[in-house]
Amino acid sequence: MQPNKEINPRESNPGPFVFSGNIYFFHAFDVGEDINFEKIEKSQALLRKPLVLPKYFKRYHIPLSVELPSGQESSNCISAKLHGFGVISLTYKIPFQETLEDLRKNINDLDQKYQEQSINDAAAIYKNIKPFIVNPKFFHLRTYYPVTQVNPELTRIDMTKLKDQYGGIIASLLRFETESLSEYQKDEILESAMGYYRGDLVVIDSEAAFVADEEFEDILDLFEFANIQQLELQYFDKVLDQQLNIFYEQKARSLPLKAYLPFLAAENKSGVDLGKLKVDISVITERIENSIKLTGEAYYSEIYSMLVRKLDINNWKDSLTNKLNIIEDVQKVYQNEIDTIREDLLSVLIIILIFIELIVGILTYFKK
């Protein structure tokens, strides 16, 4: 390793500076509709670990922190959590001490390594808790978000100049590119730069984040939280797409005759599923969104708002609302069509009955 070299602000072209810090990979897997914590603890399927939540996390809907299953060797996994709405989240911490140029070259290999590692670790956890999951499946969907954290080391580097001197490398690092990005792309990424104290620098992008903050531990949970929130919104968006396909397939198929008969028709299962789906989405969204309380925490609120914007959280929410409205409208049209045909059939039956009664009356009259 190269020795740390002091950056002199007066030098126009300072030599490469060796940074130290950690790369955090936040992985999340949706493995079912619900996880029963009580049964897991009673069965001792996994060992429970103490959980310390930041002050801005509320005390309800608390995840269950567990150890990786026995025999599952996984280096650098510092956190494994189960979330009641069917999610396994894993956090990996990889220390480094190298220049940002070297880190940029190695980031893709690290990313690939821990993507594979996260699948193995999550699969091991899933195998142990599968009996306690409603509608288990490994896995419905997954998301991940990397955070590069560097130690400010204020005695050797002027952090206020970090953005200007290393902004191009930071930008390409956050996009997993080994070459420098265009000025336009670099400026677009660095526009989100923020910090609380003068020496702090936090850059949040859609694919990763860069953090230079002495108190970085306080904000790491926000990255994990936003990643899980994005996972659940994407999962429900996928479910709604499947629901739309069901309606389209029903429309394309010809229904059996009994579907139009008032008393023989089967229950409209799609309507029941839509109502249940609305409740599920509302409940899960409430459980996630109300897990944190950032009132009075201006800096944390600013970071979370930037995460929401960069991860398209609000757009995912709007997509869910729009698709729910479309499904509801299609369902109404579909049901109205069936109801209209049923009414027509009833009218025909009434006419037939009246005609039969008339014939019977005429025959009875002539028999007298």
User: So what's the pLDDT on residue 103?
Assistant: 93
What is the band of 163 on the pLDDT scale with cuts at 50, 70, 90? confident
Mean pLDDT on 193-216: 86
Cα-to-chain-centroid distance, residue 39? 25
DSSP β-bridge partners for residue 24: 93, 147
Residue 334 has pLDDT above 70, yes or no: yes
Average pLDDT value for the chain: 82
Range with the poorest average pLDDT among 29-33, 55-59, 129-133, 251-255: 251-255
Bigger pLDDT: 302 vs 3: 302
Q: Counting beta carbons within 10 angstroms of the beta carbon of residue 287, is it exposed (0 to 12), middle (13 to 18) or buried (19 or more)? A: middle
User: So what's the pLDDT on residue 300?
Assistant: 85
Portion of the chain with pLDDT greater than 90, in percent? 38
What is the band of 321 on the pLDDT scale with cuts at 50, 70, 90? confident
Domains of the chain, by residue range, sit at 18-220, 222-364
Range with the poorest average pLDDT among 19-23, 147-151, 271-275, 297-301: 271-275
Angle at the Cα of 123 (from 118 to 95), degrees rounded to 5?
A: 20
pTM for this structure? 0.81
Cα distance between residue 149 and residue 200, in whole Å: 11
SS3 sequence of the chain: CCCCCCCCCCCCCCCCCEEEEEEEEEEEEECCCEECHHHHHHHCCCCECCCCCCCCECCCCCCEEECCCCCCCCCCEEEEEEECCCEEEEEEEEEEEEEHHHHHHHHHHHHHHHHHHHHHHHHHHHHHHHHHEECCCCCCEEEEEEEEEECCCCCCCCHHHHHHHHHHHHHHHHCCCCCCCCHHHHHHHHCCCECCCCCCEEEECCCCEEEECCCCHHHHHHHHHHHHHHHHHHHHHHHHHHHHHHHHHHHHCCCCHHHHCCCCCCCCHHHHHHHHHHHHHHHHHHHHHCCECCCCCHHHHHHHHHHHHHCCHHHHHHHHHHHHHHHHHHHHHHHHHHHHHHHHHHHHHHHHHHHHHHHHHHHHHHHC
DSSP β-bridge partners for residue 28: 89, 143
Residue 275 has pLDDT above 80, yes or no: no
Q: Side chain identity at 109, as an amino acid letter?
A: D
Range with the poorest average pLDDT among 17-21, 137-141, 257-261, 337-341: 257-261
